[in-house]
Structure 1
Amino acid sequence: LQEVSLPDEVGQVVEAELRKLRRYNEQQPGYQSLRDNLEWIADLPWNKTTVIDEASAPALPHARLILDRDHYGLDKIKQRLLEYLAVRQLKEDGRPPILCFVGPPGVGKTSLAKSIAGALQRPLQRIALGGVRDEADIRGHRRTYIGSMPGRIIQGLKRAGVNDAVFLLDEIDKMASDSRGDPAAALLEVLDPEQNFHFTDHYLNVPFDLSKITFVATANDLRGISAPLRDRMEIVSLGGYTYEEKHHIARTYLFPRQLQEHGLQEVQLDLPDDMLDYVISSYTREAGVRLLEKRLAALCRAVAVVVVEARSDDHHGEETPPSIRVDRELVEKVLGPCMFEPTEVADRITSPGIVAGLVWTSVGGEVQFIECTTMPGSGKLLLTGQLGDVIKESAQIALSWVRGHSSELGLGTKAMHLEKEDLHIHFPAGAVPKDGPSAGVTMACALVSFLSGACMPDDVAMTGELTLHGHVLPVGGIKEKMIAAQRAGLKRVFIPARNMADVTHEVPKSVKNTLEIIPVKRAEEVLSHLWDLQFSHSEAKL
């Protein structure tokens, strides 16, 4: 403790604790607890910072090189990180914003944090917050408890050995609260620049300055982060990867890494581009590349067996490694039958009342089918598919709009029969919870399709919130939804007109070139494009 340069306030507390410790006998209760506490204080990096050689000090070209080496694409994200690092260099004693990377699994959130640490040449400490529901995990336990210890922040500081490390708060949206307190509320003090210079862990009971730490957080879903905590961070959204980006990442990063991890040489496993595309399209349906890497690992394991067996059969001891070329037969033997058919949408939309919509979830964009039918009843609206309150209200709005415009749609008599029939709207994949307003237009089209008997084109999907007067309002997740549409082989997509700015600035060109994106302001425009309806005061016919 004498060798550690402690702040005055902490030094006074430590001197008092040392005097108390001298009066204790080693066998007395509380002696070991007090000694452990003082050892923790002595081990913390109160004034130790990262030593960086001036000749190799982090510079923007070096940071750009690291980001380009570790990540493909993500140009806007990289630019934001370079801005962040530039400000850090110009004003080292400033209070940088706390970045929170939000996106589906496998898009590179954690690796971006590692790149930040590499660019700053500082150690990285990862704190996994998934499942944390005890405030003491952040602030520590009081010494009165048996087996008490500091919180994860102080433990990370001890491991880092410096007080200016990069702390990755992983899965910050997966925290929960119970009778033991709310860890998200405890993080408010940690992440607030006005308070974290005087952070007091319950176990140490002395303040520690956290203001030099660079905090970076990751999350899959913003809805899992409390509003006060979200307000203290700058949200950086990461979208899903396109087919072209996945192919490049797999060829450049994932496949060579899997070869190395499985002890294989490039000459032993030949993966043609067409087979790589087949694996991406038929065995993965994700926004990121995590599952794709698992598929490549499975192929490498299968080839590893062949290589080892060939060695054992080689009685002459000649090292002539076998070369295996991946074909469709080998892929299906190792990975099983094709999981995702390119004709899935066409196979599903086979009768009136079935429509493909686009949804945005915490794991990326998805194609969501909507089905409707009627049966004898009393005019009830049945909704199934594990739906939330918002989507249930959207269904009621869609039904009200269709009934209110039945004469214009040529559905006069059929709409009247709804009073004597029950209408059932179902969202398949019933085990997956669904909510949000973006399926309003899709449900309206499904109702018109069923009541008119006109089948929906099998290359069309749509998204947009519907109002009672037929206006189509903007929705979120446009980039992810467009990528999902491309992935499903769709050709035409209807989106709210006010979302065209998102298409211009966020959707990659490779996606826009394969889709006909049609902006609409009203639901009637969608129906006019689909079935050439002419809206007037007289009945329009499909």
Structure 2
Amino acid sequence: MKQLIYGLPVIALRGTTILPEMIVHFDVSRTRSIKAVEAAMLKEQKVFLVTQKDPENENPGLLDLYKIGTVAYIKQVVKLPKDVLRVLVEGVSRAELLRLERENPYLEGQVGIIEEEDIEDHNVKEAILRNIKESFHAYCMESGKVSKDLAAQIMKIDDAKHLVDQLCINLPMPYEDQQKLLGALTLYERYGILEGMLEDEIEILKFRREFQRKVKERIDKNQKEYILREQMKLIREELGEDNTSSDADVFQEKLQGLDAPEEIKEKIAKEIKRFKSLSNNNAESNVARDYIETLLDMPWRIHTDDNEDLKEAFQILEKDHYGLEKVKERIMEFLAVRNLTEKGKSPILCLVGPPGTGKTSIARSVARALNKKYVRICLGGVRDEAEIRGHRRTYIGAMPGRIAAALRQVGVNNPLMLLDEIDKTSSDYKGDVSAALLEVLDPEQNSHFNDHYIELPVDLSEVLFIATANDLQGISRPLLDRMEVIELSSYTENEKEHIAKEHLIPKQIKENGLEEKQLAIRPAALRKIINGYTKEAGVRNLERRIGQICRKTAREILEGDKQKVVVTTKNLEHYLGQERYTYQMANKQNEVGIVRGLAWTSAGGDTLQIEVNVMPGKGELVLTGQLGDVMKESARAGISYIRSVASDYGIKPEFFRENDIHIHIPEGAVPKDGPSAGITMATAMLSAITETPVKAEVAMTGEITLRGRVLPIGGLKEKLLAAKYAKIKTVLVPKENKADIKEMSEEITDGLEIHLVDNMGEVLSQALSR
């Protein structure tokens, strides 16, 4: 392959490659290119055309140009507006740019003309000719870019080199591919590149054709369905049934995006198909529509991610609630296990305690701490089993049960679900609500909870259930066995004070439109509100009293009398009126037949002053003060014990035949019941019979047996708090309640002298003044 060296003007082309034998025109606008054209026209009209690598480069040098270009003959130059030349050239031969002699005012370089050597082997040339024609024919069949006349002319060419060059010139291809063909200096190289390009293009065209066919089929199918659907729509409109079809289409779209198990999707698809076949006037159409909407709205697999940050969760619980350590500890344990196992079993907690102790609000805080959606179901007064399990769809007005409805409402399958007032459910001829809750609250069964309306298994295993109750006695034993009970006992005065300062006062100030600087309640005044204006285990009434102060403060500020209100013990009556509650303080002196007992009520603890009188009569036992059956039985057990030990205290046998014993417990209008007043009534009766005074500073609680044993009782924390409020110093408690005392904080037991008693002998030795 020989080279002849020439010095020629050079024109750098942008986005264009010109091959030998190609006749083409192009525009030049750059100054150096125009000067190169002018220099070529003054000589032999020859110019070297070479493509630049970066089309955006305005001043290319030697390294910015491809090495191989084309020597061309300028056939025509036309001047266009804005200093643009349109040049018509004919490619002559391949050439190599050796170096640039000058770059200004135009490019001029030394180029070497490449003379191509022909292939001497006739068989090779024939093979190239046949292969390239076959590929070109296949390309023409797949593509419509080559005209029939041009294709016929090319197919008539019998020279392999000429055929390859003509295809290089006439086939539509990007300039990068043309540059590759220009850089192929032998026929065999050009053939290899061209054959590869044709094969690739044929495959691409086949794929496009197949793709277009599939798209067309789909469009045709959709078009057919659209036409049929429009025809059905028109028919239904004529019949007045146009809504059913549109509803079915909406249901079908929702089903496509529904994240649910396949069996549930199949069930919904079947119901939609059935719904389509129903006319709009059919009564069953509305039932089917409601059922499909319910199934589509259920969160079958939609869930939220739990908060895995233990520190953050604990901070939220601490911020929202003061105290309640057991609840917080159990929630943190659950979160720790969930983080380690990735899916720990959700506990089913039952918060038991008096009203106002924060059972419902702690559930909301737990939901916020765990980043769970919160939904509340109130079970108070629910007596129909269908409220839990749902109604069967055969009934008119059927609807899903409260559990399924709550999941549909909240939109996720792992919320925190609060079952409020679970102890206030009841049963009648329609079923037992507690029995229906057994499946809901059983971790081994609730992964396939069966709602009668939905008729598909609903997974409740991801739900965190928290139940609340005021009294465990109202919960059935099997249901209680499925829950983890956490007792929320009464708040102490100190706890109420902290809760008021940190939560209740700021909340009421905000709710009543005040600013923090406009109201201040002194600590002494707050303690007086707690002791004198509320009598409860929780803080609900305390919040009401604080709200009352805030409302009066708002009025005073708006009327212009004051800019800030400071509540003290002196002006507290102005805002809340006279004190409403007073505690029965410890007796100032020892008395016969009067003993202070300790009682638990739904509003916390209280003290009961039991009075006993002995009078001549027929040996009757008189009980007054609205005593319940259990308390009456405790009184009879007490008198039986006293009669069994009468000789030890010098009581004559005929005493019980000749005298009546009257037991009275104020307040007479308040019902009272429970066994824990047993030792108190026995002590009062023995004191009255033997005329022995009872120590004024002693209070007691405990159940009595016929043999004088003292049995344990409940509600001890509330009872000890009541003793503290009444300024009682000594408390007698059953020995078996020792563990309960150890769990109490010093704030409760401080200032109390607690004696653990095992039998009535120990009680009497501590209580009677001899």
TM over 0.5: yes
* DSSP-derived class of the 1:110 partner: helix
Out of 356, 362, 366, the residue aligned to residue 606 of structure 2 is 366
Matched, 1:464 2:702: yes
* Equivalent in 472, 495, 501 of residue 251 of structure 1: 501
CA distance in 2, matches of 1:385, 1:23: 71
Letter in 1 for 2:269: E
The DSSP-based 3-state class of the residue aligned with 1:325 is strand
The alpha carbon displacement at 1:374 in A equals: 3.6
Deviation at 1:375, TM superposition (A): 4.2
Partner of 2:628: 388
CA distance in structure 1 between the partners assigned to 2:638 and 2:467 by the alignment: 39
Partner of 1:10: 264
Q: Indicate whether 1:129 and 2:379 are aligned.
A: yes
Query: Do the aligned partners of 2:505 and 2:546 also contact (CA within 8 Å) in 1?
Result: yes
Match status 1:436 vs 2:674 = yes
Greater relative contact order structure (CA < 8 Å, 6+ sep): 1
Aligned to 2:276: 22
1:330 and 1:419 map into 2 onto residues whose CA distance is 59
Shift of 1:4: 1.3
SS at match of 1:346: coil
The structure-2 alpha-carbon separation of the partners of 1:16 and 1:266, relative to structure 1 and needing over 3 Å to count, comes to: closer
1:367: how far off?
A: 1.6
Residue 446 of structure 1 is matched in structure 2 by 684
CA contact (8 A) 1:342 1:489 kept: no
Q: Which residue of 2 aligns with 1:283?
A: 533
The question of 1:324 aligning with 2:565 is answered yes
* Deviating more after overlay: 231-240 vs 360-369: 360-369
Q: 1:250 to 1:205 in 2, by over 3 A?
A: same
Asked if 1:479 corresponds to 2:733, the answer is no
Q: Please state if 1:512 is matched with 2:766.
A: no
Q: Kindly provide the CA deviation profile for residues 157-181 of structure 1, in whole angstroms up to 9, marking residues without a partner as x.
A: 1111111111010111011111221
* Matched residue, 1:402: 642
- Superposition CA RMSD, Å: 2.1
Instruction: Write 1 or 2 for the structure with the bigger share of strand.
Output: 2
Secondary structure of the residue aligned to 1:267 is: helix
Query: Is the 2:693–2:768 Cα contact (8 Å) retained in structure 1?
Result: no
Letter in 2 for 1:419: R
Per-residue CA deviations over 1:92-146 (Å, capped at 9, x if unaligned) read: 3332321111111111211221122112101110111111111111111222333
* 2:486 alignment partner AA: V
Q: In the aligned structure 1, how far is the partner of 2:756 from the partner of 2:677?
A: 16
State the distance in 1 between where 2:300 and 2:584 align.
Answer: 62
Corresponding letter in the other structure for 1:299: I
1:103 is matched with 353
C-alpha displacement at 1:382, in angstroms? 2.4
Aligned residue identity for 2:411: G
Kept in 2: contact 1:243–1:487 (CA 8 A): no
CA shift for structure 1 position 303: 1.5
Decide whether the 8 Å contact of 2:421 with 2:467 is kept in 1.
yes
Asked whether the equivalents of residues 623 and 632 of structure 2 are also in contact (C-alpha less than 8 Å), the reply is: yes
Q: CA deviation at 1:430?
A: 4.1
Change (3 A) 1:252 1:94: closer
Q: Deviations over 1:212-247 (max 9, x none)?
A: 111111111000000110010010111111111111
Determine helix, strand or coil for the equivalent of 2:301.
coil
Distance 1:256 1:333, change over 3 A: same
Superposition deviation, residue 325 in structure 1: 2.4
8 A Cα contact 1:271 1:326, kept in partner = yes
Give the match's secondary structure for 1:408: helix
The answer to whether the Cα contact below 8 Å between 2:350 and 2:468 also exists between their aligned partners in 1 is yes
- Asked whether 1:416 is paired with 2:692, we answer no
1:113 paired to 2:363:
yes
Larger Rg: 2
1:303–1:324: 8 Å Cα contact kept in structure 2? yes
| 1:448 partner SS | helix
Match of 1:340 in 2: 581
Give the aligned partner of residue 315 of structure 1.
Answer: none
Distance 1:342 1:221, change over 3 A: closer
Q: 1:380 to 1:531 in 2, by over 3 A?
A: closer
1:10-56 per-position Cα deviation (integer Å, ceiling 9, x unaligned): 3343233223212210101111111110011001111111146xxxx
Q: Residue 135 of structure 1 aligns to which amino acid in structure 2?
A: E
Q: Which runs of 5+ in 2 are unaligned?
A: 1-254
Aligned mates of 2:279, 2:503 — CA distance in 1: 60
Aligned-pair CA distance for 1:428:
2.5
Unaligned segments of structure 1, at least 5 residues: 312-320, 533-541
Q: 8 Å contact 2:259–2:302 — kept in the other structure?
A: no
Counterpart CA distance in 2 for 1:395 and 1:99 is 38
Q: Is the 8 A contact 2:590 2:695 kept in 1?
A: no
* Distance in 1 between residues matched to 2:629 and 2:614, nearest whole Å: 22
2:566 alignment partner AA: R
Structure 1 range deviating more: 425-434 or 446-455: 425-434
Contact kept in structure 2, 1:47 and 1:163, CA below 8 Å: yes
Aligned CA distance change for structure 1 residues 283 and 409 (closer, same or farther; 3 Å) = farther
> 1:142 and 2:396 equivalent?
no
Q: 1 CA distance for matches of 2:654 and 2:500?
A: 56
1:394 to partner: Cα distance: 1.3
